[in-house]
Amino acid sequence: MEKLLKMITEELLKHLVLESVHPEDPIEVRNVPEPWVLLGSGNYAAVLCHPDYDKYAVKIYAPGRPGLAEEVEVYRRLGTHPAYAELYHAGPDFLVLKRLRGVTFYDCMKRGIPITDQAIRDIDEALKYATSRGLHPHDVHAKNVMTQDGRGLIVDVSDFLKQEDCTMWDDFKKAYTRLYRPIASLWLFPVPRPVLEMVRKGYRLWRRRQS
């Protein structure tokens, strides 16, 4: 771990370029130094790994984006659970986490990979567990949950301290039950990214009108 932390501070942080263009959009990753690999990015941070330490995921918060201290508290409360990552180290602007391997539900739909009922049940159970630990699951959607070997994992817990209600996961389950499962049982096909993005933006607009 000590060597990895040295590589993060002396190599990754010095050359990684993250930009926060718009507060409602994911951050933009402008440069990733070799041999680091970008695993993904979200509204607050980018997640990377080093090939020599591929059991770890390093989450780097973009300048000006809040939430690191809150995420540390979330992982403290979660402890050890099979559907969540574990926090190994917290730096001033980065976290070192257990790397979760799988495919996000979003990419499953994009690539035509089936999302199982078991994965949905796993997410439900994991969210109930988080609630029992004094957390308030928030922002749980298709890009923040994954499936691995048919089981469900929750990738992003950074908003689990927020107190306002969030219906994203319940809305996704309704769409899964009423649309995805009936169609996928007959014909499982890749959904083009522009279509998924159109649905995502349409859903965001619909939620704003409901609030």
Would you call 139 a catalytic residue per the annotation?
Answer: yes
pLDDT value at position 63? Answer: 85
| Cα end-to-end distance, the chain, whole Å | 45
Tokens of 135: 């957390």
The residue to which tokens 């109930």 are assigned? 128
Q: Chain-centre distance of CA 210, in angstroms?
A: 25
Average pLDDT rounded to a whole number, residues 137-141: 94
Contact 142, 179 (CB under 8 A): no
93, 107, 124, 139: the active-site residue? 139
pLDDT value at position 47? Answer: 95
pLDDT category of residue 23 using cuts at 50, 70 and 90: low
| Element (DSSP H or E) covering residue 168 | helix 168-175
pLDDT tens-digit profile of 167-198? 999 999 999 999 888 988 778 888 888 888 88
pLDDT value at position 77? Answer: 98
